[in-house]
Every structure is written in C-alpha cells, then in structure tokens.
Amino acid sequence: MPRYFITIEYDGGGYVGWQRQNNGPSIQEHLETAASAILGQRQEVLMQGAGRTDAGVHATGQVAHCDLPSGFAEAQLPLALNAHLPSDIRVISARQVPDDAHARFDAIGRSYRYRIFPRKIASALLAGRVWHFPYPLDIEAMAEAAKRLIGKHDFTSFRATHCQASSPVRTLDSLDVHQHGEDIILTVSARSFLHHQVRNITGSLVMVGQGKWTADDISAILEARDRSAAGQTAPPEGLYLTKVSYPEF
C-alpha cells in the first residue's frame, strides 16, 4: 500500500495530546477516524506521529505517516481528511514516500517554539496559546543564559522525572530567545528531545529573565543533573511543534 507523510497543524487545547488515550480525545484518534472515513470505514488506519505532544501543546508542523490502500493524489489527500476533522485540526500537506519511511524514526531534526506574553494584563485573543507572564523579563539575560545549554549535555536537570528515555544526553543544535511584537519567543532545535525538556528549560530561563538566576546558575543547574535544581515546568499552552526534518528519500 502507498505510504504518505502528512503535515498537520492543530490547537492542542482541547486534547489529551497527540497519542490516543482512554481519558479523552487525541489528535491521533481524530486523524485515524478521518482516514477510515475516507475509505468508507473499510478498515482501520494507523497514524504514526513524529512526536508525542502533550495535552495542551500545539503544532504547526507535526508529521505523521499512514498507509492507504487506495491511491490518493497528494494535493487531494489533505482535503479529503480535513472534511472529516474538527476545525482545530488541519492536514496542510501530504506526500507519498517509500514504503519503509517512518515519521518518527527517520526524523533527523525537530524544532519547537515557545511563546511567552509578558504583560500585566492577559490577552483576550491569545488565551490558551501563550504563557501569560504578568511581569517584565530581561530578554538579553535569557538569551545569554540559553547559550549555556547549546550543544551535547546530560539534561537530567531539564527532563521530567517520569521521562522514559534510556539516556538523558541530548544535543541542542540551537536555542534562541528574541522578542517578536509583545511576545518573547524561544526557538529550539535538536534531533530529539526529552519529555518536558523544552518546557523545563523555558521555566528556568524565565527565572533568569526575572533576575533571580544568572547564566552561571543555568550552567550549575545543568551540571547538577537533578530535576529539583531547575525551574518550574512552563505551561503547555505556550509550546508549538513547528517542524520535523527528514533526509531526502
């Protein structure tokens, strides 16, 4: 059967996350239901995602693969799937790939964006899509501290205590902090991430932005290899999976 990579964007606010679960609706469940629907309910379809975003986390560039017994034109498949999806989930593109291509295991890079809205008054239009932080933050200090985390490190201090990854060692290819309008944006790229790694890094850099910690403190936290040494886990609503990169097949 032909295999397709589809690129998906979604507002994760109303979902338990990407992965199908018993405690509520998931992105994966809706996509699999939509894929079965376009086949006339003839069979179940498995959607394998590139990353398991948590409850409340959004995506502008999630990727999944699926096998479909009928040949669909790449331009028509997103339209067919979207006809059976809620408005907060959209397939934005599709492409046919080799039969052994894998959305998760073949990925060579992932990028995330985290949005902080540092204004005393929360935004009526951005609720559920940013971390509203009602105090000013020193962006330059945050950017300087972020440099201490770039490269290959043991990120035990910045992963969830229940993270199931076999190793805490990861390589951050980039980590940037900048202002865009009223938002403070963190952009980070790596081949793969630990559970809650981006949100835990964000929570710690916000401590720097408040003047409570320095770049040297971030280095010491990294070296401590102790989750309790780092800052809070930033809320999920500010996090977006923006891109998954692959080699040319």
Residue 139 CB neighbour total at 10 angstroms: 17
Q: What is the tens place of the pLDDT at every residue in 213-239?
A: 999 999 999 999 999 999 999 999 999
Residue 182 amino acid letter: E
Beta strands in the chain (DSSP E): 3-10, 48-49, 58-67, 89-97, 109-117, 131-132, 151-154, 169-180, 183-190, 239-245
Q: What is the tens place of the pLDDT at every residue in 46-83?
A: 999 999 999 999 999 999 999 998 778 999 999 999 99
Terminal-to-terminal C-alpha distance of the chain: 17
Q: Please, are residues 64 and 5 in contact by the beta-carbon 8 Å criterion?
A: yes
Q: Determine the pLDDT at residue 13.
A: 96
Q: Determine the pLDDT at residue 43.
A: 86
Given 54, 67, 88, 154, which residue is catalytic?
A: 54
User: What pTM was estimated for this model as a whole?
Assistant: 0.96
Indicate the SS3 state at residue 245.
Answer: strand
Q: Is the dihedral of CA 168, 174, 175, 180 positive or negative?
A: negative
What whole-number distance in Å separates Cα of residue 9 and Cα of residue 2? 23
134 pLDDT exceeds 80? yes
54 tagged catalytic: yes
Q: Which domains does the chain have, with CATH numbers?
A: 3-97 (3.30.70.580), 109-245 (3.30.70.660)
95 pLDDT exceeds 90? yes
